[in-house]
Amino acid sequence: MKLLAIETSCDETGIAVLEQNGEEITVLANALASQVDIHKETGGVVPNVAAREHAKALPPLLKKVMTEANVTSLEIDAVAVTIGPGLEPALFQGVNLAKELAAKWRKPLLTINHLAGHVYSALLTPSEDLKQWSAAGSAFPALALIVSGGHTLLVKVNGHLQYKVLGSTLDDAAGEAFDKVARLLGLPYPGGPALSQLAAKGDPTKFSFPRPMKNSGDLNFSFSGLKTAVLYKLRDLKGVRNSRGSGTLSSEFLTPSLTADIAASFQAAVVDSLLTKVKRAAHETKPHTMLLAGGVAANTVLRVALQTLADKEKIPLRIAPLALCGDNAVMIGLVGLFMFAAGQTASIDKVEPQAGLKLC
Ligand code: KG4
Ligand code: ZN
């Protein structure tokens, strides 16, 4: 069984070819074209610009993976594509190509939920070079924390392709909060990596930022208040500065050490908020394993903190490999293989992008 997978939900164009033999999966080719440098100029992703870049990147990437995987279209058994959630114009590019290929090659089309992709990047076990993946060993029920630029979710995974969302963010996603606070601190897009690098040099106890919803009694999250708290803290500091008659808040005023302390204290608040709910969910659902995936799963402080919690709770933790925390087509292909095995194929003419698609 060989499968072509396409991902274009946001600002990464990904195409991969995967092969499955029983419980063993081989990544025959994996290509990714990042648009980060383009979106840096606007400080965020402009959907139509993302779509234009996907349209440019897809044809050469397709050629590249087919050559690298050393397969012809005749050898591909199915085409998998992310249909949502994501930016509609961006999704549209991948979905269109997938529909076109599935029709031309007369192969089944598999429509993949992007969030399921993130789940599978942590659920299955990769070899060190990320070329081989194994589905051996029961992980279910698993408790997954999916943290990305667009989503913050706690999901119970009862079996393959069986998801139950236990909680999610009521406003900003964790990654979005990182991006917005990074912007307040004058850091470049995408803010997460830049902010966490800076935070490594700061004191996480210097400022006490709120842990919104910590005691809400449910498994939901909220990060927009935290972002506002950082904004107010910056204003307070500016006020002190102003009362001394030293002018307005600027990057000049924000000394590198103060900025690092704010970054570290903000990051600590995000990680603490996430962990509080993971712990609560773990006690409620008694999972066999815990999973961590999504762009923010690249954050070292979060990875270490969740590992510490998992060790304490004696629950094995599987974290998505660093290279696959961000969006990619391998994770879409992994889900695709399981959907193919389950006979969950789609009717080509009915497939449309679904920007607001839910996991369940
Ligand atoms: O999963 P992803 O690539 O795209 C979405 O599906 O949203 O996640 C991107 C998000 C961005 O908000 C980015 O700032 C954040 O992941 N991110 C990080 C780190 N690396 C990426 N956030 C915190 N720490 C990081 N090291
Ligand atoms: Zn994602």
**Average pLDDT over every residue of 351-360:** 96
Q: What is the pLDDT of residues 227-243, one digit of tens each?
A: 999 999 998 887 665 55
Instruction: Report the alpha-carbon angle 142-226-268, nearest 5.
Output: 60
The model carries a pTM of 0.95
Give 283 Cα–ligand 1 centroid separation in angstroms: 27
**CB of 294 closer than 6 A to ligand 1?**
yes
- Mean per-residue pLDDT of the chain: 94
Strand 289-293 vs strand 317-319: parallel, antiparallel, or unpaired? parallel
Nearest to 111 by CA among 219, 232, 7: 7
Distance 269 CA to ligand 1 centre (A): 17
Q: Does 106 have pLDDT greater than 70?
A: yes
pLDDT at res. 248: 44
Task: Give yes or no for residue 246 having a pLDDT over 90.
Answer: no
Using one digit for the tens of pLDDT, what is the confidence trace for 194-227?
999 999 999 999 999 999 899 999 999 999 999 9
138-150: pLDDT as tens digits: 899 999 999 999 9
Residue 251 has pLDDT above 70, yes or no: no
Confidence (pLDDT) at 252: 55
Query: What is the spatial distance between Cα 242 and Cα 179, in angstroms, rounded to a whole number?
Result: 27
Q: What is the pLDDT of residue 310?
A: 98
| Residue 254 predicted with pLDDT over 90 | no
Distance in Å, CA 7 to ligand 2 centroid: 10
How much distance in Å is there from the Cα of 326 to the middle of ligand 2? 6
Least confident range from 26-40, 222-236, 248-262: namely 248-262
- pLDDT over 50 at 7, yes or no: yes
Q: For residue 228, what are the CA distances in angstroms to 222, 225, 232?
A: 12, 5, 6
Check pocket membership of 295 for ligand 1, CB cut-off 6 A: yes
Q: Which ligand is nearest to the CA of 147?
A: 1
The predicted structure's pLDDT at residue 259: 92
**190-226 burial by CB neighbour count: b if 16+ within 10 A, else e?**
bbbbbbbebbeebebeebebebbbeeeeebbbbbebb
Report pLDDT for 253. 66
Which whole number is the average pLDDT over 174-185?
95
| Residue 360, pLDDT score | 85
The rounded Å distance from CA 231 to ligand 2 centre is: 26
Instruction: Say how far apart CA 234 and CA 262 lie, in whole Å.
Output: 9
Q: With a 6 A CB cut-off, is 299 part of the ligand 1 pocket?
A: yes
- 232 alpha carbon – ligand 2 mean position (Å): 30
- The ligand with the least distance to the CA atom of 266 is 1
- Per the CB < 8 A criterion, the answer to whether 155 and 144 are in contact is yes
**Residue 117 in this model has a pLDDT that exceeds 50:** yes
Calculate what percentage of the chain has a pLDDT beyond 90.
88
> Is the predicted pLDDT of residue 314 greater than 50, yes or no?
yes
- What is the 329 CA–ligand 2 centroid distance (Å)? 10
pLDDT band at 247 (very low <50, low <70, confident <90, very high): very low
Listed residue (53, 32, 47) closest to 86, CA to CA:
47
Amino acid at 148: S
pLDDT band of 301, cuts 50, 70, 90: very high
What distance in Å separates the CA atoms of residue 143 and residue 217, rounded to the nearest whole number?
Answer: 18
Percent of the chain residues topping a pLDDT of 70: 96
Q: Is the CB–ligand 1 distance for residue 11 below 6 Å?
A: no
Cross-sheet strand order for the sheet of 142-147: 162-168, 152-159, 142-147, 289-293, 317-319
**Long-range contacts, stretch 305-310, CB < 8 angstroms, 24+ apart:** 305/271, 305/275, 306/145, 306/274, 306/275, 306/278, 309/275, 309/278, 309/279, 309/282
Q: Is 296 in the pocket of ligand 1 (CB under 6 A)?
A: yes
Quick check: CB of 85 below 6 Å from ligand 1? no
Beta bridge partners of 81: 6, 111
- Complete DSSP assignment for 133-195: EE--S---SEEEEEE-SS-EEEEEEEETTEEEEEEEBSSS-HHHHHHHHHHHTTPPSSHHHHH
Indicate the Cα dihedral angle 347, 348, 354, 360, nearest 10°. 30
From the centroid of its chain, how far is CA 255?
31
User: Which is it for the CA torsion 19, 20, 21, 25, positive or negative?
Assistant: positive
With a 6 A CB cut-off, is 191 part of the ligand 1 pocket?
A: yes
Judged by its nearest atom, the ligand closest to the C-alpha of residue 298 is: 1
Residue 179 Cβ < 6 Å to ligand 1: yes
Could you say which ligand is closest to the alpha carbon of residue 177?
1
Distances (CA, A) of 246 to 125, 238, 240: 56, 9, 9
- How many Å apart are CA 107 and CA 94, to the nearest integer? 16
**Which residues neighbour 178 within 8 Å (Cβ) at sequence distance 6 or greater?**
191, 192, 195, 196, 267, 270, 296
- Name the closest-CA residue to atom 23, ligand 1: 192
